[in-house]
């Protein structure tokens, strides 16, 4: 299993064992109702609890990227995420915060508000200037595989060879990012983004091949439809399935789990460490 380190804001973070990135939504329309925060006070309380439960990174998003999500203006997105980022860091100065956005303006505003990472679901395809922001501030960049936009991605699921096509995508994007001066990279295979249910599971079975990039691999499958639809459940009922797949993903090289349910994800990591007779 790849065990790279990650440099964030001058801090070297070990990924010797998998870490948790907590989903902190500042949106009213996230697909999982339990992740919606109606007020800034509720969101700040949730952030503090996530840190207590063991989250390494808080991922703050102001634009739902679920399929067919409503569009949000850049101004509204910034107004959603920046006060939350500032509030988190005021209450928890040592917290590590990422901003979940595909817009350069939002990314820059969030970094100025204190965010440390950029988590871009579009891989720079929607707003190429976001790479310049990552280079300017020398912050880690989560490079995800996707196609199109949240409104169009599920019509873009035709691949010649799924895993090989995604591998080629990362090869080209990593080279281009490094040429622009972005060196701290995290790879996200993009489960649920421009992929059918069958393709999601094919990619998961083969995800170990992406360890050859020697970069941290982030997995975002928490409560997604690839879990609850085949089980004929809802997102609210998908925690058990999420935990089951987290275990499989960690065995295939996942270094970071992006989750709604921090405590349960941390417990799965602890039990896996115990299974392999490692220190908890």
Q: How far out from the chain centre does Cα 78 lie?
A: 19
Distance of alpha carbon 2 from alpha carbon 33, whole angstroms: 34
pLDDT at 31: 45
Q: Is residue 264 part of a domain?
A: yes
pLDDT tens, position by position, 200-211:
999 999 999 999
Q: Is residue 114 part of a domain?
A: yes
Please indicate whether residue 136 is annotated as part of the active site.
no
Q: Is residue 98 part of a domain?
A: yes
Q: Is residue 8 part of a domain?
A: no
Strand extents, DSSP E, 123-238: 141-144, 185-188, 217-219
Look up residue 227 and give its two tokens: 């879990």
Of 103, 147, 173, 224, catalytic: 224
pLDDT at 125: 94
Instruction: Tell whether the torsion through CA atoms of 260, 262, 264 and 266 is positive or negative.
Output: positive
Report the CATH number at residue 171.
3.20.20.20
pLDDT tens, position by position, 155-181:
989 999 999 999 999 999 999 999 999
Positions in the chain short of pLDDT 70: 1-3, 28-38, 66-69, 278-280
Distances (CA, A) of 115 to 95, 99, 101, 137: 10, 6, 12, 11
Of 80, 103, 147, 258, catalytic: 258
Q: How far out from the chain centre does Cα 186 lie?
A: 9
Please indicate whether residue 258 is annotated as part of the active site.
yes
pTM, entire model: 0.93
Q: Is residue 123 part of a domain?
A: yes
Distance of alpha carbon 206 from alpha carbon 219, whole angstroms: 13
Say how many domains are in the chain. 1
Instruction: Return the DSSP state at 36.
Output: B
Distance of alpha carbon 264 from alpha carbon 66, whole angstroms: 23
Q: Is residue 12 part of a domain?
A: no
Distance of alpha carbon 46 from alpha carbon 25, whole angstroms: 10
- Those residues whose C-beta lies under 8 Å from the C-beta of residue 5, and which sit 6 or more positions away, are 12, 13, 14, 15
């Amino acid at each position: 299993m790849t065990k790279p380190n990650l440099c964030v804001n001058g801090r070297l973070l070990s990924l010797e064992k998998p870490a948790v990135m907590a989903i902190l939504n500042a949106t009213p329309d996230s697909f999982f109702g339990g992740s919606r925060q109606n007020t800034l006070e509720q969101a700040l309380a949730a952030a503090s609890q996530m840190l207590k439960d063991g989250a390494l990174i808080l991922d703050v998003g102001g634009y739902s990227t679920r399929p067919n999500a409503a569009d949000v203006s850049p101004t509204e997105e910034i107004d959603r995420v920046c006060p939350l980022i500032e509030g988190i860091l005021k209450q928890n100065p040592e917290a590590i915060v990422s901003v979940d956005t595909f817009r350069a303006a939002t990314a820059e505003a969030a970094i100025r508000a204190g965010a440390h990472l950029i988590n871009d679901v579009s891989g720079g395809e929607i707003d190429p200037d976001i790479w310049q922001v990552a280079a300017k501030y020398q912050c880690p960049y989560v490079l995800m595989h996707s196609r199109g936009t949240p409104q169009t991605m599920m019509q873009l699921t035709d691949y010649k060879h799924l895993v090989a096509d995604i591998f080629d995508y990362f090869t080209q994007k990593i080279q281009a990012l490094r040429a622009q001066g972005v060196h701290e990279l995290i790879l996200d295979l993009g489960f649920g983004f421009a992929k059918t249910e069958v393709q999601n599971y094919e990619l998961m079975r083969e995800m170990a091949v992406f360890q050859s990039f020697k970069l941290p691999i982030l997995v975002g499958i928490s409560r997604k439809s690839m879990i609850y639809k085949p089980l004929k459940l809802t997102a609210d009922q998908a925690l058990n399935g999420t935990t089951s797949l987290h275990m499989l993903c960690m065995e295939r090289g996942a270094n970071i789990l992006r989750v709604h349910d921090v405590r349960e994800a941390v417990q799965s990591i602890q039990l896996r460490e115990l299974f392999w007779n490692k220190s908890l």
